[in-house]
Structure formats: C-alpha cells, structure tokens
Amino acid sequence: MRNKEFVKIVEESENIVFFGGAGVSTESGIPDFRSDEGIYKAWTEYGRPSEEIICRPFFDRKPEVFFEYYRKNLLYPEAKPNEAHRALARLERQGKVKAVITQNIDGLHQAAGSKNVIELHGSVLRNYCMKCGLSHSMEYVLEADGVPLCQACGGIVKPDIVLYQEEVGSDALDQAIAAIKQAETLIVGGTSLVVYPAAGLVEHFQGKHLILINKSQTQYDERADLVINHPIGEVFAGLYEF
C-alpha cells in the first residue's frame, strides 16, 4: 500500500521519530493483551482481566499464576520483525530515523536492526533476580517450572517489564520526550494513544509533520497532518515499492 503523502514526508524529513504501540507487533503475530479480545481471554481463563494479572500486587501475591499467564500470553520467542520494524531500521541506517520509542516489550525493533530504541515498558529479553540482580535469559524464564528462580541465590527472577501499578522508568521517559521535542516528523503507529504515558508524549511534539497510522481513530486525528487507517506493515512496505 503506497500512500504518496506518507512517502513524500518521509523522503523530505531529516529527523524522524517513531512512536509505536501494540499494533506494530500484532502484525508479527503477537496479540495485544490490552485489546478487548485479550482482556476477554484472561477473564475466561483466569477469572480476571489481563490488567489485574500483569500488575505488581498480583505478581507479588501469586507469582505462580502470573508466570503461567506470562509464558502463555506475553512471550513469543518465534515472532519475527515485520515490514514496519524493518523499514524503521533501514531509515535509521539512512540517518533519517533518530529514535524509535515503543510501548512493546518484545525486542522486535532491535531484532530488525534498530539501534536507538527507547522501551517505555521494558523488555521480556531482560530478566533479573530480585535478590542479587543476576541476569537471566528469556529462555530460562520460558523453560523454568513454575516461578523462575535464580541460578545463584534462589530469588525470584523478574522480567524487566513495567507492570501495572509500577512506574515507567524516568530515564526512558526523559529520552522519549527529548527525542520527540527535537523531531521534525513524528510518526505514531499502532497505538490508540490512550494508555499512559502515550497520550502525554505526543503533546511534546513541536515539529512539522505529525503522522498517525492506526486501524481506528484516535483523539489526535484532528491535530495530525496525515492520518492513515491501514495496517502499519503495509504502509511502511509502501516506502520501498517503486
């Protein structure tokens, strides 16, 4: 899908920042646990919505249930980057994309080759012992029986992701704001811009072109220079169809 205006803005921009949400990864086969479907699935299997499971008090109270849900619904070791991830990495190599800010925790932007990735909600690829801080791989967490315990001290190994009722790291937030403030073009994709801190971040943009790519409408549509209601992978693939 080639959107001429999108292609033109990207070609002319020297400082692009991309800010993406769950919709970027759904096209790699990772379902959005915050979607109606994800919430419903958690309700039917666990008797509570996904937000109540991926939440710090629940993690502390019932780590065995948390990790069962986590392995089934948040870990996708087979997932591969899609056209959107790949195009963004290519645009970064060309010097156009200065930063990718993501709400996703799957590491797919780095897998596609992006270097400056700001992960607002952390990454499932990093896991640390809560007692001694020892790092463990995603595979270790995936293959552990029940609650993953530290190889060195037996403490619980916690994924480095931001759970509900935990704060987004201030470093990541500061970096995201700085990148957005300097951007000439901000492309926001695959997010409905309602989950904190997504909505607030867009407010910092003072550049020329705000582009929104999302399947449904967002509250920022009127302020955007270009709104594309189309799957994001196809939109980015259009950059390289000539």
Is-catalytic flag, 136? no
Q: Which is nearer to Zn ion, 152 or 194 (CB)?
A: 152
* Minimal distance, residue 191 CB to Zn ion, in Å: 35
The reply on whether position 1 binds Zn ion by CB under 5 A is: no
**x-or-dash string of contact with Zn ion, 73-102, rule CB under 5 A:** ------------------------------
Assign 220 to helix, strand or coil.
coil
From the candidates 121, 204, 209, 230, which is the catalytic residue? Answer: 121
* Minimal distance, residue 135 CB to Zn ion, in Å: 10
User: How many residues bind Zn ion, per CB under 5 A?
Assistant: 8
Are 34 and 22 in contact by the 8 Å Cβ rule? The answer is yes
The reply on whether position 157 binds Zn ion by CB under 5 A is: no
Q: Categorise residue 233: left if φ over 0, alpha if ψ from -120 to 50, beta otherwise.
A: alpha
Query: Which of 153, 194, 223, 225: binder of Zn ion (CB under 5 A)?
Result: 153
* Minimal distance, residue 147 CB to Zn ion, in Å: 13
Assign 171 to helix, strand or coil.
helix
Distance CA 204, CA 154 (A): 44
Assign 148 to helix, strand or coil.
coil
- Residue that has been written with the tokens 């390289």 in this structure: 240
- Size of the chain in residues: 242
Distance CA 68, CA 64 (A): 6
Assign 188 to helix, strand or coil.
strand
* Minimal distance, residue 67 CB to Zn ion, in Å: 16
Nearest in space to 190 (alpha carbons), one of 156, 154, 233: 233
Q: Which is nearer to Zn ion, 137 or 229 (CB)?
A: 137
**x-or-dash string of contact with Zn ion, 117-146, rule CB under 5 A:** ------------x-xx-x------------
Known binding positions for Zn(2+)? 129, 132, 150, 153
Q: Which is nearer to Zn ion, 131 or 208 (CB)?
A: 131
- Residue that has been written with the tokens 């809560």 in this structure: 130
The reply on whether position 149 binds Zn ion by CB under 5 A is: no
Question: Among the residues of 114-231, which ranges form H helices?
Answer: 138-143, 170-182, 198-202
Catalytic residues, by residue number, are 121
The footprint of Zn ion (CB under 5 A) covers 129, 131-132, 134, 150, 152-153, 155
